[in-house]
Amino acid sequence: MITTTGLTKVYRSRGRDVTALDGVDLHVREGEVFGVIGQSGAGKSSLIRCVNLLERPTAGTVTVDGLDLTALAGRGPRAGRELRRARSRIGMVFQHFNLLSSRTVQDNVELPLEILGHSGADRSRKALELLDLVGLADKAKSYPAQLSGGQKQRVGIARALAGDPKVLLSDEATSALDPETTRSILRLLRDLNRQLGLTVLLITHEMDVVKSVCDSAALMENGRIVESGTVGELLATPGSELAAALFPVGGAASGDDRTVLDVTFQGEAATQPVISQLSRTYNIDISILGAAIDTVGGLQVGRMRIELPGRYEDNVVPVGFLREQGLQIDLVGQEPALVKEGAK
Ligand SMILES: Nc1ncnc2c1ncn2[C@@H]1O[C@H](COP(=O)(O)OP(=O)(O)OP(=O)(O)O)[C@@H](O)[C@H]1O
Ligand SMILES: [Mg+2]
């Protein structure tokens, strides 16, 4: 639904070039909630602003719903009209809501429809329908100043939906909100995604946001995407930074001469019989340091941190046994000397 290839953005600021996007290849599938996470300055806002061409990319292409937006930009009046029409099908939600304070809630939602040239009756019907959808039917005649932050963001979302978009872009939509309100806004985005089949690309610096609503995620660093995939794929990727952050388990080794492993399983699989088989087969004592079962991006995931006596070199065979059972095994803390030598 959204594809970028080699997307690059260089800002020229006070005679100095700042590369905010450095060849980003992003692929967001139709109907999914895709989260882009990264630290401040990683290029997240630049990415989202280039996706709807609020910002003109320096190089690369952006395709939304099969239409190459970058090809339309700057190609004369006809292409300009096409680009505007394409952009009206991309809704955008902002961190600070960007509502007009002099207009009522309803008039704020009607604004994009005015720009699209809809008639008064049509606008009013649509705005009330959308306000109902976001749970604010009774606030149509209020002004933004009379609303809470969460309510303002609901208005922002209703306005973003006015052009019947297929894609919703959200730049830190919840970072000005408290945790409870954040959850309710995320639930709303998730419901809209399901009810309307809306594809959502959201930008955040909070892992909890990714964890609670995203089907897929990408990690951005210095203008590049360094990890990306469905939540299931990420959790199944050994050494994935995103996976570790999405689903941490605690527990420290009880001594130097120990091997600590994170065992991850998805869905119905359970580790319990495997662990007791391991213990019996190799006659070793296994300690469980930590364990958790959680729902990440709608997937049931379990992770257990276990400790085996001896260093990694002494446990190559038992670790191999666990991997053969189809479990994902990540070595924690210790430098896997054998693995390194093997890789040379
Ligand atoms: N209009 C601009 N002119 C010059 N440099 C800019 C401009 N916008 C962004 N930058 C620079 O581009 C880089 C990426 O900025 P961007 O706003 O995309 O980051 P971000 O990941 O959204 O950060 P945050 O989490 O703080 O919002 C930063 O180094 C920033 O200073
Ligand atoms: Mg930003």
Q: Mean pLDDT lowest for which of 29-33, 34-38, 93-97, 263-267? A: 263-267
Domains of the chain: total: 2
Q: Is the CB of 23 under 6 A from ligand 1?
A: no
Q: Is the CB of 18 under 6 A from ligand 1?
A: yes
Q: Mean pLDDT lowest for which of 49-53, 73-77, 79-83, 273-277? A: 73-77
Q: What CA–CA distances, in Å, run from 255 to 204, 259, 285, 311, 334?
A: 38, 9, 14, 10, 11
Domain assignment present for residue 76? The answer is yes
Q: 80-87 long-range contacts, Cβ below 8 Å, gap at least 24?
A: 83/53, 87/52, 87/53
User: Ligand 1: which residue has its CA nearest to atom 30?
Assistant: 41
Q: Mean pLDDT, the chain, as a whole number? A: 89
| Shared domain check, 227 and 102 | yes
| Shared domain check, 217 and 172 | yes
267 pLDDT tier (thresholds 50, 70, 90):
low
121 pLDDT tier (thresholds 50, 70, 90):
very high
Amino acid identity for residue 23 in this structure: G
pLDDT of residue 291: 85
Can you tell me the distance from the alpha carbon of 200 to that of 204, in angstroms, rounded to the nearest whole number? 13
Q: Say how many C-beta atoms besides its own lie within 10 A of residue 160's C-beta.
A: 23
Higher pLDDT: 336 or 174? It is: 174
214, 235, 256 — which closes off a domain? 235
CA of 24 to the centre of ligand 1 (A): 15
Quick one: CA dihedral 236, 240, 244, 249, positive or negative?
Answer: positive
Q: Which domain holds residue 21?
A: 2-235
Q: What CA–CA distances, in Å, run from 6 to 162, 199, 208?
A: 31, 22, 29
Q: Is the CB of 283 under 6 A from ligand 1?
A: no
pTM as predicted: 0.84
343 pLDDT tier (thresholds 50, 70, 90):
very low
User: Ligand 1: which residue has its CA nearest to atom 12?
Assistant: 20
Q: Are 274 and 341 spatial neighbours (Cβ–Cβ below 8 Å)? A: no
Does residue 344 register a pLDDT over 50?
no
User: Ligand 1: which residue has its CA nearest to atom 27?
Assistant: 40
188, 211, 235 — which closes off a domain? 235
Q: Mean pLDDT lowest for which of 41-45, 84-88, 117-121, 210-214? A: 84-88
User: Ligand 1: which residue has its CA nearest to atom 22?
Assistant: 45
Please compute the mean of the pLDDT values over residues 282-291 and round it to a whole number. 90
| Shared domain check, 270 and 185 | no
Q: Are 196 and 31 spatial neighbours (Cβ–Cβ below 8 Å)? A: no
Quote the tokens at residue 103: 């207009």
Domain assignment present for residue 136? The answer is yes
Q: Taking ligand 2, which is a single-atom ion, which protein residues have CB atoms under 5 Å away?
A: 45
221 pLDDT tier (thresholds 50, 70, 90):
very high
| Shared domain check, 160 and 100 | yes
pLDDT of residue 271: 62
Q: Is the CB of 38 under 6 A from ligand 1?
A: yes
